[in-house]
């Protein structure tokens, strides 16, 4: 392994994607890492240590802000205590976002996120575009572009009006009420759109947001002036877009936003997104919008030279959690704008189901570090990896009969360096690394919990919480004892 892609096997804070274990010149263990702007994609069937061998070590050693999306609590339980150590150093927090769950998650109160909490028109536009794209608004419907653009016009204006609502500013339930009421028949002078239009018209005078407020107020008035069936069609398309909040628990989680994306990135915080399997598909568009909102904030801070540490987007079992419509763009452009992506899938076919064949291929090609485990069949990705590894030139000596007697000959043909069947037979605990234009290499991928370098940093979250509580009580007692002497 080239020295630039490996470091001594010590758990420290890095801002490079973890790839696995390799050996040094003298046989000692070393960690394999990508370069600063690299992203990594891992493909392998179930139970091959994609998370326990690569995902968990990656999160344990990432030295910047983190967004972790995983369908199981294993990632949080094994890494949250270590992430809190980084948060204490940089002044951040360890947060959980679980929109489908009521109450605490792993002893932590989940944060809330309101899609309508932004006041910046550019941010609102990005959020609406992300949500409509992830929700597939208008898909498989005649004149789909017409209905999708109508839904966007509605949502943009309602989001900005909600952000400046006089009593419930930023409460997305207000937007949901406007949309629900808009489906009902009634006179136009008392239509639910009259309230947000009034807020936007007043906003242009009171707060100086004249262009965006007036422009989007005019768009809402245009929707209001459409024929009855067309207007109801726009509202129906908008309600379909925000269907992720049809679950009352999810809708309740959108009443406010409990964290600021800019502060989150500047303070080295960690956000764990927990979504039960049975609800993942339903809330995927909402999760996608939240992730892309933070990513775009990171882009802005990086462009301004104010992003102190790179953001890691860790997507575990990507296809089953939150397919991101802009994933290929984030992978290909994020490296140069302060964002790294680490994703894994059970098979490349999952990407084709969610993104289409062309987009899935683009995601695979844009990922600089590719890791494949054994057990893959041709359709799951072994054939793609075999093709990416390349061919070798084979020369076979032969003999042919001519008029002048036997003469030597050479036959040249090309064959795969590693066939799909050979890739399928990669032994457990090992994986194949395809890195840019370097020759393929084998890496060890052991369970993190069985390596002392990792296991001593994998303190269970419950134990860490108990220690923190004990330390807090001790500090309070010390302050109480010192108080009489100070007096």
Look-up: residue for tokens 């005078």?
205
Instruction: State the CB neighbour count (10 A cutoff) for residue 106.
Output: 16
The tokens of 186 are what? 């009634």
> What count of residues does the chain have?
487
Helix, strand, coil in percent for the chain, rounding step 5:
50, 20, 30
pLDDT of residue 380: 61
pLDDT of residue 84: 93
Helix (H, G, I), strand (E, B) or coil at 42: strand
Question: Which contiguous run of DSSP H or E holds residue 41?
Answer: strand 40-43
Closest by CA to 154, choosing from 217, 220, 210, is: 220
How far apart are the C-alpha atoms of 206 and 227, rounded to whole Å? 32
pLDDT of residue 319: 74
pTM comes to: 0.88
Q: Are 200 and 219 a contacting pair, CB within 8 Å?
A: no
> pLDDT tens, 140-169?
888 889 999 999 999 999 999 999 999 999
Strand ranges inside 169-210, DSSP E: none
Domains located in the chain, CATH noted: 3-103+261-375+426-466 (3.40.50.300), 121-250 (no CATH)
Angle 363-287-464 from CA coordinates, rounded to 5°: 105
Q: Which residues contact 311 (CB under 8 A, 6 or more apart)?
A: 64, 65, 66, 67, 265, 294, 295, 298, 338, 339, 340
pLDDT of residue 104: 86
The tokens of 344 are what? 């894994």
How confident is the chain (487 residues) per 10-residue block, as mean pLDDT? 92 97 89 97 92 96 96 90 94 93 86 94 94 87 91 96 95 96 84 94 71 92 91 94 92 95 97 79 86 96 98 88 85 96 90 85 93 81 81 82 77 85 91 92 94 90 59 56 48
The tokens of 151 are what? 């839904």
Strand partners, 41: 343, 370
pLDDT of residue 485: 44
pLDDT of residue 462: 65
Look-up: residue for tokens 């066939």?
419
How far apart are the C-alpha atoms of 409 and 37, rounded to whole Å? 49
Helix (H, G, I), strand (E, B) or coil at 372: strand
Helix (H, G, I), strand (E, B) or coil at 4: helix
Q: Classify residue 62 by its DSSP letter.
A: B
How far apart are the C-alpha atoms of 453 and 458, rounded to whole Å? 10
pLDDT of residue 486: 47
């Amino acid at each position: 392994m080239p020295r630039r892609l490996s470091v001594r096997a010590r758990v420290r804070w890095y801002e490079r994607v973890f790839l696995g274990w390799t050996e040094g010149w003298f046989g000692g263990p070393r960690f394999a890492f990508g370069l600063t702007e690299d992203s990594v994609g891992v493909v392998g069937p179930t139970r091959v240590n994609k998370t326990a061998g690569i995902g968990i070590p990656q999160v344990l050693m990432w030295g910047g802000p983190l967004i972790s999306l995983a369908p199981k609590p294993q990632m949080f339980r094994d890494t949250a205590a270590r992430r809190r150590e980084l948060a204490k150093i940089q002044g951040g927090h360890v947060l959980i976002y679980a929109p489908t769950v009521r109450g605490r998650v792993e002893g932590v109160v989940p944060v809330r996120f309101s899609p309508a909490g932004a006041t910046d028109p550019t941010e609102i536009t990005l959020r609406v575009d992300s949500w409509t794209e992830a929700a597939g608004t208008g898909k498989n419907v005649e004149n789909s572009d017409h209905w999708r653009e109508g839904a966007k016009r509605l949502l943009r204006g309602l989001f900005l009006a909600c952000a400046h609502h006089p009593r419930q500013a930023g409460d997305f339930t207000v937007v949901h009420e406007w949309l629900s009421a808009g489906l009902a028949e009634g006179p136009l002078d008392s239509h639910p759109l009259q309230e947000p239009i009034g807020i936007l018209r007043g906003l242009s005078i009171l707060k100086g947001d004249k262009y965006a407020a007036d422009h989007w107020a005019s768009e809402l008035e245009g929707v209001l002036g459409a024929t009855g069936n067309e207007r109801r069609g726009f509202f129906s398309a908008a309600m379909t877009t925000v269907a992720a909040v049809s679950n009352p628990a999810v809708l309740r989680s959108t009443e406010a936003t409990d964290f600021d994306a800019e502060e989150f990135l500047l303070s080295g915080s960690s956000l764990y997104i927990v979504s039960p399997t049975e609800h993942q598909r339903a809330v995927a568009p909402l999760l996608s919008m939240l992730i892309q909102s933070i990513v775009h904030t990171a882009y802005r801070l990086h462009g301004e030279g104010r992003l102190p540490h790179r953001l890691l987007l860790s997507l575990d079992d990507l296809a089953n959690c939150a397919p991101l419509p802009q994933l290929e763009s984030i992978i290909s452009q994020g490296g140069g704008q302060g964002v790294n992506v680490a994703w894994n899938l059970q098979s490349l076919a999952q990407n084709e189901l969610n993104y289409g064949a062309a987009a899935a291929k683009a995601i695979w090609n844009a990922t600089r570090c590719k890791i494949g485990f054994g057990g893959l069949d041709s359709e799951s990705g072994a054939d793609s990896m075999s093709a990416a590894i390349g061919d070798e030139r084979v020369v076979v000596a032969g003999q042919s009969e001519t008029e002048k007697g036997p003469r030597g000959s050479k036959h040249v043909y090309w064959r795969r360096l590693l066939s799909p069947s050979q890739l399928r037979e990669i032994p457990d605990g090992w994986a194949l690394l395809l890195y840019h234009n370097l020759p393929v290499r084998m890496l060890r991928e052991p369970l993190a919990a069985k390596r002392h370098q990792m296991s001593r940093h994998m303190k269970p979250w419950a134990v860490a919480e108990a220690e923190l509580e004990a330390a807090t009580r001790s500090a309070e007692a010390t302050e109480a004892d010192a108080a009489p002497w100070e007096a």
